[in-house]
Amino acid sequence: MSAGSETSLGAARRDGLAAAQRFRLPFGGQRWRGAAGGWQGSGEGSSIDFHDHRAYAPGDDPRHLHWAAYARTGQLTMKLYRAEVAPRVDLLVDASASMRAEPARAARTESLVAFCLASAARAGAPVRIQAVAGRRCLPLAEEQVRAEGFWAAAGEPETGTGAVAPEGLQGRTGAMKIWISDLLYPGEPGAVLRGLAAGGGCVLVLAPVLAGEAELRERGNMELVDREGGAARHLRIDDGMAERYQAAYFRHFNLWRETARRMAVGWARVDSNGALASALAGEARQAGVVEVVA
């Protein structure tokens, strides 16, 4: 990355931190498992939120006997409360060439990573970060990412692989698994989402997109070079081809959205232009991928 890019990525991290002032990851609507924390767990715990009743068993904490029920029925009944846990966050970031080739998308990715880290930190959720490039997953140190930024920590991507779908994306059981990717690779979205959804928890997909990418602006004979693999191909782009391309582009993302909806995966495109907070206020907020900070 050049010095200018680093300056831009630094601004992007600040933009992500600023967005974290307004929005957070949707920790509130989930039942989490994990170490004690400040978020409702999926089992019984010691919080003040009522969870259920059951008959008293020897060894139960007598402080939680339901005295009012005993007075009415003469049976010892225990009041159960929810557990309070700290959710775990698995942040998987697409580090392929297409993600960093466009400065706007690279910056948006940087700001999204910063947003997720800041939001997880506020929730007290430990974060595990992996940079995904094709079929390779590279674990990154959270501290390094916080200090240097995602792209600096991820290093140079593997080139020449072409646009391929990531394989073996998995998160920890019960964790919030966030997949930040432009989704610009062929293949059926369900395969990726099923891998992420395995083990329960929450799956979120954030796709930094470029508005101009939805269309082919130029006309005429083109030498189209794949950013992922560098392979070139000659093709004439006319209005008909441009229209078909645009339709295919939207069809591609509609397929992702429908698949995510069917699999109860939070999915949202995030415009790479403008402030992240403004971008999240749109489709991401409506889809419940982010929540407004109270």
Partner 1 sequence: MNWAGLSFANAGAWWGLLAVPALVAVHFFQQRARRVELSTRFLIEALAPQSQGGRSWERFRASRAFVCQLLAVLLLVWVLAEPRWPRADSTQTVVIVLDDALAMQAVADEARAAARERLAAAVGGAAKTEWVVMGSDPRAPLRYRGPELGAAQAAVAGWRPGLGTHDYAAALRNGRTLVSAGSGVGECWLITDRESKVPADQAAIGVGRAVANVGFAGGSVSRAESGDRMWRAVVQNHAAEAQRRAWWVEGGAGASERRSVELAAEGVVELSGAWPGGAERMTLRLEGDGFGADDVLPLVRPQAKRLSARLGVTGETREYFKKLLGGIDGVELGAAVSPGLRVVEQAGGGTEVGGAAVVLAAGATKSAATTWLRVPVVAERHALVAGLNWQGWLGSGAGKLTMTANDEGLLWQADAPLVWLRAGAEGARALVLNFDWAAGNAARLPATVLMLRRYVEAVRDAQPGEYAGNFDAGSLVPLAEDVSGETAEAWRLEIEGGATRELGAAERAVLRAPGDAGFFTVKRGKETRVRGAAQFADARQGNFRDAAVFRRDPPAGERAEARARTTQGDPLRALWLAAAGAALVASWWPGRVDAEGTRQAWKRGRA
Q: Per CB under 8 A, which of residues 39..58 are in contact with partner 1?
A: none
Q: Which stretch binds partner 1 (CB under 8 A): 28-36, 74-82, 153-161, 178-186?
A: 178-186
Half-sphere exposure of 104 (CA within 13 A, CB side): 15
Report, in Å, the least distance between residue 79 CB and partner 1.
Answer: 47
Q: Which of 3, 63, 239, 294 binds partner 1 (CB under 8 A)?
A: 239
Instruction: Compare residues 200 and 229 and give the one whose CB is closer to partner 1.
Output: 229
User: Residue 98 interacts with partner 1 (CB under 8 A)?
Assistant: yes
Instruction: Compare residues 58 and 240 and give the one whose CB is closer to partner 1.
Output: 240
Q: Which of 163, 181, 142 is nearest to 265 (CA)?
A: 181
Between the alpha carbon of residue 145 and those of residues 25, 81, 127, 150, 152, the distances in Å are: 18, 37, 11, 5, 8
User: Residue 167 interacts with partner 1 (CB under 8 A)?
Assistant: no
Q: How many residues bind partner 1 (CB under 8 A)?
A: 46
Between the alpha carbon of residue 4 and those of residues 100, 105, 148, 153, the distances in Å are: 14, 15, 15, 17
Instruction: Compare residues 78 and 107 and give the one whose CB is closer to partner 1.
Output: 107
Instruction: Compare residues 59 and 220 and give the one whose CB is closer to partner 1.
Output: 220
Q: Per CB under 8 A, which of residues 179..238 are in contact with partner 1?
A: 182, 184-186, 211-228, 231-236, 238
Between the alpha carbon of residue 157 and those of residues 89, 132, 137, 179, 206, the distances in Å are: 24, 9, 11, 17, 20
Report, in Å, the least distance between residue 220 CB and partner 1.
Answer: 6
Rounded Cα gap, residues 1 and 12, in angstroms:
14
Q: Per CB under 8 A, which of residues 246..285 are in contact with partner 1?
A: 246, 248-250, 252-254, 283
Q: Which of 244, 264, 278, 288 binds partner 1 (CB under 8 A)?
A: 244
Instruction: Compare residues 212 and 288 and give the one whose CB is closer to partner 1.
Output: 212
Instruction: Compare residues 67 and 250 and give the one whose CB is closer to partner 1.
Output: 250
Report, in Å, the least distance between residue 26 CB and partner 1.
Answer: 20
Report, in Å, the least distance between residue 167 CB and partner 1.
Answer: 16
Rounded Cα gap, residues 34 and 40, in angstroms:
10
The DSSP bridge partners found for residue 157 are: none
Rounded Cα gap, residues 242 and 245, in angstroms:
5
Instruction: Compare residues 4 and 186 and give the one whose CB is closer to partner 1.
Output: 186
The DSSP bridge partners found for residue 92 are: 130, 179
Number of residues that make up the chain: 294
Q: Which of 214, 207, 160 is nearest to 179 (CA)?
A: 207
Residue 193: partners with Cβ closer than 8 Å, 6 or more residues away: 203, 205, 259, 260, 263, 265
List contacts with partner 1 (CB under 8 A).
Answer: 98, 101-102, 163, 182, 184-186, 211-228, 231-236, 238-239, 241-242, 244-246, 248-250, 252-254, 283
